[in-house]
Structure 1
Amino acid sequence: MHGLHLTADLHDCRCETRWLVDAQALGAACVRAVDAVGLQAVGTLFHSFPGGPHGPGGVTATVLLAESHLCVHTWPEQRGATLDVYVCNFGGDHSAKAQALTASLEAIFMPKRTERHSLQRGTIGAEPFQ
């Protein structure tokens, strides 16, 4: 159960609108980012939500990792997105890969402001990875 769970709330994103509304484009970018940092994608789900009175619908891009998961949700009407990256560190410390993945996805959205959180989950024996 040991791992690193990173979240980022991205506000006032200055990216191209397609990153906020095109589930397939965002999903493909997520898979490329996963590969680039050396994690292993084992499944994907990309979903578009219908638009409403406030504008186009957002998207969710989920990549199931051998090491755990990546999930991105967007709110185009607010120019916002959230990132959720969790990696299990049981067989090795994947923390640096999780941090690199989060940073690469933040770069796609180009937020004016970001709220980041990090949580160490579980332990191996008496000592968690640091």
Structure 2
Amino acid sequence: MQGLHLCADLSGVRADLPEMLDPAALQAICVAAVAQAGLGAVAELFHRFVPAPGETQSGITGVVLLAESHLAVHTWPELGGVTLDVYVCNMGQDNSSRAQALMARLISAFAPEQVQQQALQRGGLAQI
């Protein structure tokens, strides 16, 4: 098992973006970005949380299962934050450039003021 795991923490995202509050809007941009990156979506689930008492906004958690692995997105409109998680397996072919393209498309869609990114090469037998 070999793969690339990308993570990004976005801050300074406009809270009124439809993708921050509407599960259908977030799902649409995620599924489109997956297709544009050349990856295969096999299932999706997007859930909006109920606002806490006294709050007017709440975030969304969304997952797109990929033939190659997964995309996970979490929005916090009340904080102007988004976390992105893209993992692709590299069995049969190297999907690293597709993972990077997917991450870039999603970061661009949210237009954050700040981005913090990490990449982890996964594979081999790890000992704990």
Q: TM-score, normalised by structure 2?
A: 0.92
Please report how far the alpha carbon of residue 60 of structure 1 lies from its aligned counterpart in structure 2 after TM superposition.
1.1
Sequence identity of aligned pairs in percent?
52
1:47-126 to 2 correspondences below 5 Å: 47-52=47-52, 53-123=54-124
Deviation at 1:16, TM superposition (A): 4.5
Runs of 4+ in 1 over 3 A off after TM superposition: none
Question: Cα distance, 1:15 vs. partner?
Answer: 7.0
Task: Check conservation: 2:38, 2:98, Cα contact below 8 A.
Answer: yes
Distance 2:15 2:4 in 1: 27
Secondary structure of the 1:84 match is strand
Query: What runs of 5+ residues in structure 1 fail to find an aligned partner?
Result: 125-130
Q: Using the TM superposition, give the Cα deviation of residue 78 of structure 1 relative to its aligned residue in structure 2, in angstroms.
A: 0.5
Give, in whole Å, the separation in 2 of the partners of 1:16 and 1:92: 39
The aligned residue for residue 128 of structure 1 is none
Q: Which residue of 2 aligns with 1:27?
A: 27
In structure 1, the residue matched to 2:18 is: 18
Q: Structure 2 CA distance, aligned partners of 1:69 and 1:111?
A: 22
1:127 aligns with: none
Q: What is the CA–CA distance in structure 2 between the aligned matches of 1:21 and 1:64, rounded to whole Å?
A: 21
Q: Deviations over 1:15-69 (max 9, x none)?
A: 7521111111101110011001110000000101011234311001110000000
Q: By how many angstroms is 1:108 displaced? A: 0.9
**Cα offset for 1:111?**
0.6
SS at match of 1:10: strand
Please tell me the residue identity of whatever aligns with 2:91.
Answer: F
Secondary structure of 1:111's aligned partner = coil
Aligned length: 124
